[in-house]
Amino acid sequence: MEENNQAKEDRREARRKRRIRNQIVAYITVILLILAVGTGIVWGVNKLTVERRDAEQESQASQDALDQMLASEDAIETPSPTPEPVVELTPEQKLDEIVNAGIEVMPLEAKVAGLFIVTPEAITGVSTAVQAGDGTREALAQYPVGGIIYFKKNIQSADQITTMLDNTELYMRYPLFLAVDEEGGSVARLAEAGVGTKVDNAKTIGESGDTNNAYQAGLTIGGDLSRIGFNLDFAPVADLANVEGSAIGTRSYGADAAAAAGYVGAAVRGLSEQGITSCLKHFPGIGGSTQDTHTGLASTSRTAEQFRAEEFTVFQAGIDAGADMVMIGHISAPELTGSNEPCTFSEAVVTDILRNELGFDGVIITDAMNMKAVSDYYDSADAAIQALRAGCDMILMPEDFEMAYNGVLQAVNDGIISEERINDSLRRIYRIKYADRISELD
């Protein structure tokens, strides 16, 4: 019994000793692990310290080298930044900006009205306008047209017409063409009314053999118009009287294209020097017909080759001399258009030939739309729309202004004519009206 008890006691003692031994081994292992981690931390810190010290030394060495380079006489100077180039606009470009800015803020109704040149009676409703008062002010407020054309019946005296024009300008929202037909000879509204200088007709001047006579006539007419207050003259005539009994008669400088070209160019220069805008007429040339578009249809059988060799050279001379406006005639020229329609409605004549072939970038205006060659066959709205679609910029004297105006306005609203197309014409119109500002912008 005692032996069994002793054996049990021995086993308990052995287990106790093994437990103590295992605990000691565990403690030693933990201590060794702690020592290893600590040693690693110390080593890592030392390594980072050394690397940072080395990096700082390298950085300092680089900075020292840079400071030495900048301090040396051969140091490279830092280039100054290149300034952005300043684009200086030309006076013409500045004028374009003014024109575009003005057109952008115009309501569509004003834009469309600005394509028309009409008589004062057409917008005021009076039978004969000889003054500009409340009726003119109200009319221009409702229809800010692009221009007004005056005839002998509107002119009673120099003071009266000057006052009328001055007052009209006071009422306008937008710049106006104040126009008249003053060719000299039998077509001279001011001279007929006794307030302008009588000037020889074109035929007489052409027969003189001296283009300076055309220049002096332009100076004289231009001086009268400028003094009274006009700014646009529907002259000179560039048609050739090249058939017997030509409808253009004494209004033409003759039948010889080379000679007529010199007279037309001289007349344009004379008007221009007096500050008057000139308008060549009647493209492509109505002198090759004996029929009068005032009273009905008129046509010519002249070929395209004949037009190019003769009539076009005269118009080109006027354009080269500085004419800012060209009037399209209502004559039918099948050899140019391919049809019997008046040239006013022909894109082939207005755009393909005058605008593109002859390179004319000014204002293209119709002849008076109340002439029988148009009014007997087209209503005022259709005529105006067709002329604009052919490439004309302005409509002169429609038979019924309100019908023409409303027709064009509706055509734009319906997309038949784009507003940008209207804007293109207005840009050309306002470049003429604001041309005197170029010198101010220089």
Instruction: Show me where the domains of the chain are located.
Output: 1-55, 91-441
- CA 325 vs CA 271, 363, 381, 405, 412: distances in Å: 13, 5, 23, 21, 24
Q: Amino acid identity of 222? A: G
Q: Looking at residue 58, what is its pLDDT?
A: 52
Distance of alpha carbon 23 from alpha carbon 3, whole angstroms: 31
Q: Looking at residue 89, what is its pLDDT?
A: 77
Please give the model's pTM, rounded to 2 decimal places.
0.80
Distance of alpha carbon 4 from alpha carbon 27, whole angstroms: 35
Nearest to 288 by CA among 335, 357, 356: 335
Q: How far is CA 416 from the centre of its chain?
A: 21
Q: Looking at residue 324, what is its pLDDT?
A: 97
Nearest to 163 by CA among 122, 125, 130, 119: 130
What is the homologous superfamily of the domain 91-441 according to CATH? Answer: Glycoside hydrolase, family 3, N-terminal domain (3.20.20.300)
Q: Looking at residue 26, what is its pLDDT?
A: 44
Q: Looking at residue 90, what is its pLDDT?
A: 82
Active-site positions read 294, 367
Cis peptide before 282 (omega within 30 of 0): yes
Q: Looking at residue 361, what is its pLDDT?
A: 97
Q: What is the pLDDT along the chain (442 residues), one digit of tens a residue?
A: 444 445 545 555 555 555 555 445 444 544 444 455 455 554 554 554 545 555 455 545 545 544 554 455 444 455 566 766 767 878 778 888 888 888 999 999 999 999 999 999 999 999 999 999 999 999 999 999 999 999 999 999 999 999 999 999 999 999 999 999 999 999 999 999 999 999 999 999 999 999 999 999 999 999 999 999 999 999 999 999 999 999 999 999 999 999 999 999 999 999 999 999 999 999 999 999 999 999 999 999 999 999 999 999 999 999 999 999 999 999 999 999 999 999 999 999 999 999 999 999 999 999 999 999 999 999 999 999 999 999 999 999 999 999 999 999 999 999 999 999 999 999 999 999 998 765 555 5
Q: Looking at residue 407, what is its pLDDT?
A: 98
Q: Amino acid identity of 140? A: L
Q: Which residue reads 């040693």 in tokens?
A: 39
